[in-house]
Amino acid sequence: MILLTPGPTPVPEDIRVAMSGKTLHHRTPEFEAIFAETRTLLKKIYNMDDCIMLASTGTGAMEACVINLCHKKALTINSGKFGERFGKICKAFDIPYTELKYEWDTPADVEQVIKEIKNDSSIDAIFIQVCESAGGLRHPVEEIAKEVKAINKDITIVCDAITALGVEKIDTTNIDALISGSQKAFMLPPALAMIGLSNSAIEKLSLSPKGYYFNLLSELKKQRENTTAYTAATTLIIGLKAILEKMDSIGFDNVYAETKKRALATREALLELGLTIYPKTPALSMTTIATDDANTIRKILKTKYSVNMAGGQDHLNGKIFRINHMGLVEDYETSWAINSIEMALYELNKRVYDGSGVRTYTLNKFLKN
Ligand SMILES: *Cc1c(COP(=O)(O)O)cnc(C)c1O
């Protein structure tokens, strides 16, 4: 089965092998050296002042950022399940918040965000996805961060980049916290989360430390000494070091360029097949197609062609399907998926089969500049 869901992504064989060593104790010079090297690589991909690794899924890091970086009131952006989650976390901790809600194909409106922070001076943190995976859209986070900081530099900008870091270069100039997770673009098993932090976020952490397990200040202090407050996720950190070394040896910018070409070529190929791209501002991490045949197409792909793609959740169940571009996806995998979609459309009497999908993918991926 070709796993082409936008998380989890398949773990490459060399990374699985790297994680297959004997158990290391986490309080040893041997593991601390691995931890130090991983931190260095992580800082390189993050391009931020510091970073933290947490033994948790991405949602744990979202929770950690909400409780540690919002001291008064949050502004949350909800264009889908993951944006909605920030609001649910605020609610769970009785943190006041305002939510700007959009349809799942619609990115945040910069003007509206600005209006909100101008009207409500109690807002001290904004929570937004870089890519909202529910519909595969890209929010204008850099623009929002820049404009908000120009008005009030003390508003903390927290971005969930779980399906963006490792996919594309993110301008972190005005971003205070950038969340990522192991099972998406880093092609690792789930349950390791990472947070990049700006110096101003670190200052804010120090003002009023919060939480116990997710106390980011005490965690950061330990991690600066190349250890962790609690037992480190040793195996996953060894995996993270291996994948970051691999991406670094390819060149992070080359990985981003390749992902972009793959995403754009896929988009062209599926448009050529007569399909419709769902989000108004598609992200590069996945291609989301809007079609009422979504579940039938996914079923044909799974049972006849051994391709596992993701569907939609909630009101988009049966209305969309999503193809992953994160990680080191091979061109034959994406071509196979596109060809399978064309075959499925033919089976459903939606179009003829003439190989247009793969031809368009190949043309756009390899022949055009
Ligand atoms: C996958 C994902 C998460 C985190 O999910 P976990 O299941 O907690 O790892 C958060 N935000 C986005 C945008 C995601 O795609």
CA 53 to chain centre: 15
C-alpha 310/C-alpha 298 separation (Å) is: 8
C-alpha 289/C-alpha 328 separation (Å) is: 22
CA of 331 to the centre of ligand 1 (A): 25
Residue 368 pLDDT grade (very low, low, confident, very high; cuts 50, 70, 90)? confident
C-alpha 75/C-alpha 77 separation (Å) is: 7
H-type helices in the chain, by residue range?
A: 13-18, 29-46, 58-69, 81-92, 110-119, 141-151, 199-207, 216-223, 234-250, 252-272, 294-305, 331-347, 356-362
pLDDT of residue 33: 98
C-alpha 341/C-alpha 366 separation (Å) is: 20
CA of 233 to the centre of ligand 1 (A): 18
Cα→Cα distances 236→11, 134, 186, 194, 248, Å = 11, 26, 11, 12, 18
**Interacting residues of 88 by C-beta distance below 8 A, sequence separation 6+:** none
Coil, helix or strand for 357?
helix
Classify residue 281 as exposed, middle or buried by CB count within 10 Å of its CB (0-12, 13-18, 19+). Answer: middle
**Interacting residues of 30 by C-beta distance below 8 A, sequence separation 6+:** 24
CA of 187 to the centre of ligand 1 (A): 14
CATH superfamily for 252-368 is Aspartate Aminotransferase, domain 1 (3.90.1150.10)
- Residues 62/83, Cβ–Cβ less than 8 Å: no
Nearest atom in ligand 1 to the alpha carbon of residue 130 is 13
Cα→Cα distances 77→12, 64, 110, 184, 355, Å = 34, 17, 11, 21, 41
CA of 261 to the centre of ligand 1 (A): 24
**Predicted confidence (pLDDT) per residue in 292-305, tens digit:** 999 999 999 999 99
**In the numeric block, which tokens belong to residue 146?**
């820049």
Q: Regarding beta strands 193-197 and 73-78, do their DSSP bridges make them parallel or antiparallel, or are they unpaired? A: unpaired
Is the CB of residue 59 below 6 angstroms from any atom belonging to ligand 1? yes
CA of 357 to the centre of ligand 1 (A): 30
For atom 14 of ligand 1, which residue has the closest CA?
Answer: 162
State the sign of the Cα–Cα–Cα–Cα dihedral 331, 279, 7, 142. Answer: positive
C-alpha 142/C-alpha 178 separation (Å) is: 12
Residue 369 pLDDT grade (very low, low, confident, very high; cuts 50, 70, 90)? low
Boundaries of CATH 3.40.640.10 in the chain?
2-250
Cα→Cα distances 355→275, 326, 338, Å = 15, 25, 9
∠ CA 55-311-177, rounded to 5°: 35
**Interacting residues of 175 by C-beta distance below 8 A, sequence separation 6+:** 48, 141, 142, 145, 157, 159, 196, 198
Share of the chain above pLDDT 70, in %: 100
C-alpha 106/C-alpha 281 separation (Å) is: 7
Is the CB of residue 282 below 6 angstroms from any atom belonging to ligand 1? no
Tell which CATH classification among 3.30.43.10, 3.40.640.10, 3.30.300.180, 2.40.30.10 matches the domain 2-250: 3.40.640.10
pLDDT for 34 beyond 90: yes
- Cα dihedral 53→134→81→128 (10° resolution): 60
For the chain, what is the mean pLDDT? Answer: 98
Is the CB of residue 135 below 6 angstroms from any atom belonging to ligand 1? no
Evaluate the omega torsion of the peptide bond into residue 6 and state whether it is cis, within 30 degrees of 0: no
Residue 231 pLDDT grade (very low, low, confident, very high; cuts 50, 70, 90)? very high
Task: Tell me the pTM.
Answer: 0.98
**Predicted confidence (pLDDT) per residue in 98-138, tens digit:** 999 999 999 999 999 999 999 999 999 999 999 999 999 99
pLDDT of residue 282: 98
**Predicted confidence (pLDDT) per residue in 307-337, tens digit:** 999 999 999 999 999 999 999 999 999 999 9
**In the numeric block, which tokens belong to residue 209?**
């430390």
C-alpha 44/C-alpha 47 separation (Å) is: 5
Boundaries of CATH 3.90.1150.10 in the chain?
252-368
C-alpha 62/C-alpha 58 separation (Å) is: 6
